[in-house]
Structure 1
């Protein structure tokens, strides 16, 4: 299950060392990122392995464009021809942006990647009605899932299957083998070594609660351990062998699967949404109703203090975190935060 917020450039950044637990007294300060001409609000969704970001920004009419920020420049990638919205999920150091579209008419979701500054749809297997690209690594491997309509018991369900668009075979799409053959699988993210994080749903009728997380690589998969009593799991990100997400065992708790398979739980978290190569994470905890407080952790400890209205979407490898802020006049302003 992908948790996200509605919908947005990156200023040049010097190298920043990721905060550690010893930096617990630091203060996170924000820097707003400019929007391309004609776009009114936005959000950072992803960061590359250097110092760039990518995300979305929208026009006053509500059309959503893909945007990349790097070297002090805001680059408007626009939309896929024939589609009204481009929702971004990943970017690599070469500037390849991936995500999915929605159609100007109808409800067809289509995975895309950027070629230069243009967006192009990715191929779908025969029989697929929808596709989503959820992540890309620096090698150019893209992961996601495709969806096909299946009728069972008189009802029609959208059944999703994890796929890879391999950099070694441009223009092709491969369903991931070595995973359970029943239910549904979602390709959530891909590590730099090609390891794919997969959520597994045991039935075609339930697209809400995954019951297992798998790490897939080169045709084989292994399941991640979960505590006794776990009823559902969430896999959001993978970096340097660590997986970020949550465990539901009588309550939803943020979790990180370490490189050895052990599980750590960042204090006061319900979901860990992003992790960088040093293990710095971002995520949130429900405070009341639908109101969530967003934080940064290193290991299990919160890092520093935060103020203002903000949402964190990504923990970048340069040590910053990024997402958007808002106030009474601006619904969403793309921004990054630095620990100092």
Structure 2
């Protein structure tokens, strides 16, 4: 049985007061007129019963996966009332990103011990593996430009040495790939901005959990969160970064907060949030609200540092925020244990 959900007006007031899991100095500014988000369920093809949105073209088009009783994922896109099915893969196939022309990239895991899998993109109405050498066990794509160039990484043997190499698959040469310069030591790519800036997490091998930006061979570390024991970045858009930080609260318990790094480098805790899931170029943010503080699993929408509204109900989850102001994700039906691919539009 789900915990009781507080009244929307009461929860809104609590969030604005800044008392949810938030230091007094980080209380949210008063919000402008909040959105009433209108949900639209996207259609599923015959033979599937669940689905979710994972990426957007930022022009009203979305992509994701759907599955039925066998669990195998079918890659789909939704645009202008049309659903396109790119074929069926394995039970863990993932959609990673989509560009403005509708090309989708993703990853298909094949094995886990040792790891094996391949990156793919949609082409001529189907998803097709991106090229890789026979000595590579894993290839994974993490970004696609509007011109179709794809960037990602490969893990395998190069010149007889096991290593991870970052690569580019050029759009005008679909059967080829190019090696890219090595990233800084211990860096893992979290996201890529439209101007090519890479958002990086640095793993614990350095003794810290640093986060930063990498462009033209130069690393710029993001501002640290006072008292943080671990910080992770998730997404970047138009120079703004979102992520999470863990730190002890007033009782000594480790608490996790959503964080925004703005274009000027300033860092802001998003009061009452436990994690973040998406940001668009205007600073519209989807974030999971702290379930320990509001008695249920709810998603909040922020406009930069300002809390806007609660999205739907406890069964609504955000995966991506479009530059057109729409939001993509899914709604889970606990009665049927099925997920519905969903988009939300602001209906002030």
Q: Of the two, which has the highest radius of gyration? A: 2
**What TM-score bracket applies, with the shorter chain setting the length?**
0.7 to 0.9
How many angstroms does 1:288 deviate by? 4.2
Instruction: List gaps (5 residues or longer) in structure 1.
Output: 1-19, 150-157
**Distance in 2 between residues matched to 1:261 and 1:44, nearest whole Å:** 31
**Distance in 1 between residues matched to 2:155 and 2:283, nearest whole Å:** 32
- Match of residue 44, structure 2, among 30, 35, 40: 35
How many angstroms does 1:260 deviate by? 1.7
- The TM-score, its normalising length taken from structure 1, stands at 0.78
Instruction: List gaps (5 residues or longer) in structure 2.
Output: 1-28, 249-254
- Match of residue 285, structure 1, among 257, 278, 289: 289
- The TM-score, its normalising length taken from structure 2, stands at 0.77
Query: 1:144-223 counterparts in 2 under 5 A?
Result: 144-148=152-156, 163-167=167-171, 170=174, 171-177=176-182, 179-181=183-185, 183=186, 185-203=187-205, 211-223=209-221
- Give the match's secondary structure for 1:265: strand
> Does structure 1 residue 108 correspond to structure 2 residue 112?
no
**Distance in 2 between residues matched to 1:242 and 1:248, nearest whole Å:** 20
- Match of residue 258, structure 1, among 253, 262, 279: 262
- Paired residues of 2:301 and 2:311 also in contact (CA < 8 A): no
> Does structure 1 residue 135 correspond to structure 2 residue 143?
yes
Query: 1:1-340 counterparts in 2 under 5 A?
Result: 23-79=32-88, 85-103=92-110, 108-124=116-132, 127-148=135-156, 163-167=167-171, 170=174, 171-177=176-182, 179-181=183-185, 183=186, 185-203=187-205, 211-250=209-248, 251-288=255-292, 292-308=297-313, 309-327=315-333, 328-329=335-336, 331-340=338-347
**Distance in 1 between residues matched to 2:311 and 2:33, nearest whole Å:** 11
How many angstroms does 1:132 deviate by? 2.2
**Distance in 1 between residues matched to 2:217 and 2:172, nearest whole Å:** 15
How many angstroms does 1:37 deviate by? 2.5
**Distance in 2 between residues matched to 1:253 and 1:161, nearest whole Å:** 33
How many angstroms does 1:141 deviate by? 3.6
Count of residue pairs the alignment pairs up: 304
